[in-house]
Amino acid sequence: MENFVRIGLAALLGLIAAPANAADTVRMAIQKTGTVAWELAVIRAHGLDKQAGLDIVTLELATPEAGKIALRGGAADIIVSDWLWVSRERHLGAKLVFYPYSSAVGAVMV
């Protein structure tokens, strides 16, 4: 579990810090009770967002589906979703980028 947390934090920081300039604002739509919520709490508690020159604005939502709506509606810059959804949206013309968030492997059911 500890490795998962490290991988998750590294992925999240890599995702939001790589293209960042000083004082960039990143809007994240997150599930209020999800993993990203406590990862952001750790980031803020250790000042990692400020070290990276970021102002992370969170939009707390009840479900992952609400995050997809927020992203597509322009209320968020980043959400956590799966590659199948991103692939489908890209096929429909959306200019989305998928970046692996964790090393966990999900199952596809047919």
Confidence (pTM): 0.69
Its sign, for the CA torsion 97, 19, 29, 35, is positive
Q: Give the CA distances from residue 5 to residues 13, 43, 63, in Å, rounded to whole numbers and listed in that order.
A: 12, 12, 21
Residue 109 corresponds to which amino acid?
M
- Domain 2-91 class? alpha beta
Instruction: Write the pLDDT tens digit of every residue in 14-68.
Output: 655 555 455 589 999 999 888 889 899 999 999 999 999 999 999 999 998 999 9
Residue ranges per structural domain of the chain: 2-91
